[in-house]
Amino acid sequence: MDAILLQILNGLDKGSAYALIALGLTLIFGTLGVVNFAHGALFMIGSFCSVTLSKLFSLSFETVDPTKLDFLGNPSKVTTPYVQAWFGPELGAAIIDWSVPLAILLAIPVMLIVGYVMERGLIKHFYKRAHADQILVTFGLAIVLQEIVKYFFGANPISAPAPEVFRGSLDFGPFFGLEANKVIYPYWRLVYFFFSAGIIAAVFAFLRFTTFGMVVRAGMADRETVGLLGIDIDKRFTVMFGIAAAVAGLAGVMYAPILSPNYQMGMDFLVLSFVVVVVGGMGSLPGAVLAGFLLGILQSFASMNEVKSVIPGIDQIIIYLVAIIILLTRPRGLMGRKGVMEE
């Protein structure tokens, strides 16, 4: 029971990340019809927004301490962050400590701009090209973005810890009538789950309850008719590209304490997220969310020793196995719409 509970919890936070990335992918595919292989790179850039803000907050001035020596035997330099000098040691330290959540404020404009530039500067030229062309160009773009990040931040993972108050774990055992310390779960992963749920709800609410969202949904259903009504649907779709980029970026920002940011992390998520999109149904936003959580939970269960002892290696193939089964039984995915990605 405790093991099952733990794996459900694991699956929820893993699924949250898959769902957020897949949601952005589906938004882009559903509006612009573009298969965006650079979407994982947007997740990675978001993650590096936390690193960047942490580094900005940690910018320091140096003073020489003649009583200490550095590794070369020269007088040691003591660094003091400017924020601590300006706001006092305690407030300054708190600002640095909270750099990951605060990075959300940096990531939103940065990702909107990155998304806008990416769409206007490159991807719009490939709207009428074959999906293979779109995949090639966006995959190339992903590699370029990776290398840029590597140039500035190096290849090593960079630690981006959660605020002190969220370090440690919550004991779920007593909530379910289990022994204490049997089901413990990190606070930050819970934060991540609720954050993801909030973002997903906000995206759905935006599309459902705003005029802008209504026009976008209409455009997704029948782009031509919406255009004939005199609405500049392309402009709105460009904004949606920016929003999708921001969703991926925010997923990355908050994931930084779970997975130390490194320049390749986007690629690791990209393939899985595409499987999630396909399983959920191309172009279906609820499908992407549902499939994200479903595959996240299944992947967690497949990693259990009891399961692996019966089917060795199942943890590495479960997602693809489920994708095959679902596509054989429901070729359009769990919630796919007729006519999407079909000739």
Partner 1 sequence: MSRSNFTRRGLLKTGAVAGTTFALPTIFTSRAANAFTNEPTGSSVTFGFNVPQTGAYAEEGMDELRAQQLAVEHLNGIGDGGMLSTFSSKVLTGAGLLGKEVKFVSGDTQTKADIARGTAQSMIQKDGVIMITGGSSSAEAIAVQGLCQEAGVIFMAGLTHSNDTTGKDRKANGFRHFFNAYMSGVALTPVLQKVYGSDRRAYHLTADYTWGWTQEASIAASTEAIGWQTVQKVMTPVGAGDFSSYLAPVLNSGADVLILNHYGADMVNSLTQAVQFGLRDKQVNGKNFEIVVPLYSELMAAGAGENIKGVYGSMNWNWQLQDAGTKAFVKSFGEKYGFPPSNAAQTCYAQIMLYADAVTRANSFNPCAVAEALEGFEFDGLGNGPTLYRKDDHQCFKDVLVMKGAEAPTSQYDNLEIVEITPVAQVTYAPDHPMFAGGALGDCNPGA
Write out the residues near partner 1 by the rule CB under 8 A.
Answer: 2-3, 6-7, 9-11, 13-14, 68, 70-72, 76, 150, 154-159, 161-162, 167-169, 181-186, 188-189, 257-260, 262, 264-265, 268-269, 299-300, 302-305, 308, 315-316
CB nearer to partner 1: pick between 14 and 236: 14
Coil, strand or helix: which one is 82? helix
- ∠ Cα 198 204 208 (to 5°): 140
Distance of alpha carbon 311 from alpha carbon 328, whole angstroms? 22
Q: Least distance in Å: CB of 71 to partner 1?
A: 5
- CB 117: neighbour CB atoms within 10 A? 12
- Least spacing, CB of residue 153 vs partner 1, in Å: 11
Our CB check for partner 1 shows the closer of 1 and 85 to be 1
Distance of CA 342 to the CA centre of its chain: 28
- For partner 1, give the closer residue by CB, 34 or 302: 302
For tokens 């393939």, the residue is: 271
CB of 134 to partner 1, least distance (A): 25
Question: Token pair for residue 245?
Answer: 């980029």
Token readout for 178 is 């289990």
Of 70 and 232, the one with the shorter C-beta distance to partner 1 is 70
Please say whether the beta carbons of 288 and 19 come within 8 A: yes
Least Å distance between CB 330 and partner 1? 26
DSSP string, 151-195: HHH-SS----PPPGGG-SEEE-GGGGTPPTTSSEEEHHHHHHHHH
For partner 1, the closer of residues 34 and 160 by Cβ is 160
Q: With the C-alpha atoms ordered 239, 244, 250, 253, is the resulting torsion angle positive or negative?
A: negative
Helix locations, 58-186, DSSP H: 82-87, 89-97, 99-121, 131-153
Shortest Å distance, C-beta 307 to partner 1: 10
Q: How far is the CB of 54 from partner 1 (least distance, A)?
A: 11
* Closer to partner 1 by Cβ: residue 183 or 294: 183
Residue among 6 and 136 whose Cβ is closer to partner 1: 6
For residues 295 and 320, give the distance between their C-alpha atoms in angstroms, rounded to a whole number. 10
For the CB of residue 250, give the shortest distance to partner 1 in the complex, in Å: 18
